[in-house]
Chains A and B, each alone.
Chain A
């Protein structure tokens, strides 16, 4: 009898533990809780318009995080610190190519994605052929991109978004949702398909969890890893374009706001930085979670210092819910 109840208690404890281990579920629960908290702190926080605005901001972060997610999944300390620089660069390129006319949208998309992919490929080649650690390679690339921004901008903000692009990002398009959210959903579906249903996806997980084994099994490790960095750059380029649609014009180093948050979104979404497991659905939830958190902090009426203190501490607490490293045991 007592054994049975103990067993049952153990079973429910295990169930609770496995629940906690579902990062997507944790993120969704936290999102609902945070929305409720926001509504309590300032009525109207969880109104449909507000949620829509939050989702637009989350979509921008989420698109950057898609590339970041791929690079991290590929393992070997995969990380891309250059995404911030690529977002900024792409926003400037987009603004200047479009310069306020709708006819420039298609060339702008091509230019942004191509520029992002180009720098991503540089990263990938440095990481694979020259075997520079990703953190170092992308950090160095970030410095180059920041320098390039100064050259292009020459101190003056330039370029405007095309009206149609702004509309796509901010105005309802289908079922009351703006185009960018549909784009994000589409990217989510494509990522899920890519990672779960294609050879490429399986190979990404393979090199992320055990590169040696993957190599022996005939996986073209280098090619896959370069393409992950290329995709990361391309996603960042796309995000820069969408960002200028949201903001109207590009301003100094706007992309820096996406560098580390994109990594945090991936981690909050349940993909550990060691790679090889996780997926993009969680990252999407992680991006939404991060944006809601930031938004709550801007609505409550406190000093900037208090806001940052709370934000930092909350992130730490949130991370405790996710994969902690293994304890050392003899």
Chain B
């Protein structure tokens, strides 16, 4: 596998560092953006602003992690946004039907995660087992999932129970709830990075034929990647439900492409075989910081989307170029 070969060959210090930590360029961009945000609006580095940033972009962070697990193996999932919408609708409707108490919330969350898992399983079967082309097949399943979301909740608007969004936006021991989620996510990801499945997925992404010939169950590994992706999309749905406090069958539509952008910004190769989930989390934060920076520098409102688009395109190009420069 080329990843292993390049690692053994002698490299400059910086190259070796990026080889070991593919998310370093993303980290540099992130720090630069934080500094710029602080320059234009000192309050934006305050505790309150950072909390707001995280609670808004936690969903995208989760979704980017979800996307990473399929990109590892060289696949892509264009249905993550639709899965997010579906799970959002499912838990909103269940929580309302079950009365909105603590038990109802926990039950709905469990069902929601199972829904995400089932969606991921379907994607995995379609792409890994039936061997359809990932881009078009997951687009087809995204239409299917959106249809299901519309069936569960035809129009946006049903509110989440108070206990749900109060918890998400609340504090425990003076520390915002979302920080606990971030720490939990970090612990889970730190364990997952060392898991055998991660290595296996990267091996499949690097070269599926070689992986197969060395005895890896390629189909099963890709399938597991999609299942993981579904589960993390469901977790993203839990976050967005906490943030928006309502159900919307189309809430995730625009987020799919942002999740792909976040993965690329994080230094993960779309062709598979190398990358890191940490990078994807940073990538999601980069998108968030670009959006807030565009606001803080005082861009007129109708120009904001264009400037955001240009900045994200620029960051994408920069990330790809820097990663290539140190590791051709």
Contact = CB atoms under 8 A, between A and B. Distances in A.
A151 B144 CA distance: 33
Contacts of B149: 305
A189 interface: no
A150 B306 CA distance: 8
B100 to A, nearest CB: 24
A309 B142 contact: no
B260 A147 contact: no
A142 B219 CA distance: 33
Contacts of A199: none
Contact of B151 (A79, A126, A151, A309): A309
Interface stretch (B49-57, B159-167, B205-213): B205-213
Contact of B140 (A133, A136, A145, A312): A312
Interface string B164-193: 000000000000000000000000000000
A38 B73 CA distance: 41
A133 B271 contact: yes
Interface secondary structure of A, over-half rule: helix
B133 interface: yes
Nearest to B208: A328
B317 A126 contact: yes
Interface residues of A, number: 53
Contacts of B102: none
A263 interface: yes
Nearest to B257: A139
Contact of B133 (A144, A309, A325): A325
Nearest to B215: A330
Interface in A303-330: 303-313, 315-316, 319-320, 323-328, 330
B133 A272 contact: yes
B313 A141 contact: yes
B126 interface: yes
B28 interface: no
Contacts of A303: 150-151, 154
Contacts of B209: 328
Contact of B148 (A77, A81, A307, A309): A309
Given A315-B140, A319-B132, A328-B208, A144 B147 contact: no
Interface string B191-231: 00000000000000000110011000011000000000000
B143 A315 contact: yes
Interface centre among A135, A137, A263 (most CB of B within 10 A): A135
Contacts of A310: 147
A260 B139 contact: yes
Given A150-B302, A328-B218, A140 B309 contact: yes
B321 A130 contact: yes
A12 to B, nearest CB: 26
A154 interface: yes
A143 B303 contact: no
Contacts of A154: 302
A315 B270 CA distance: 25
A315 B135 CA distance: 13
Interface string B266-285: 00001100000000000000
Contacts of A48: none
A189 to B, nearest CB: 27
Interface centre among A77, A154, A308, A310 (most CB of B within 10 A): A308
Interface residues of B, number: 52
B117 interface: no
Interface in B272-328: 302-310, 312-313, 316-317, 320-321, 324
Contacts of A330: 212-213
B310 A131 contact: no
B17 interface: no
Contact of A151 (B126, B136, B264, B303): B303
B219 A312 contact: no
A9 interface: no
A311 B147 contact: yes
A154 B302 CA distance: 6
A101 B309 CA distance: 33
B154 A140 contact: no
Interface centre among B76, B142, B264, B307 (most CB of A within 10 A): B264
Contacts of B76: 135
A139 B144 CA distance: 23
Interface string A32-51: 00000000000000000000
A146 B320 contact: no
Given A147-B304, A273-B135, 17 more contacts: A140-B309, A141-B313, A143-B257, A145-B309, A146-B305, A147-B308, A150-B302, A150-B304, A150-B306, A260-B139, A303-B150, A305-B150, A305-B154, A307-B147, A312-B143, A312-B146, A319-B140
17 contacts: A136-B264, A136-B270, A140-B313, A143-B308, A144-B306, A148-B306, A151-B302, A151-B303, A151-B306, A273-B133, A303-B150, A305-B148, A308-B144, A312-B141, A316-B144, A324-B131, A330-B212
Q: Which 10 A-B pairs have the closest CB atoms?
A: A312-B144, A308-B147, A147-B306, A140-B313, A309-B147, A143-B309, A147-B305, A312-B143, A305-B150, A305-B151
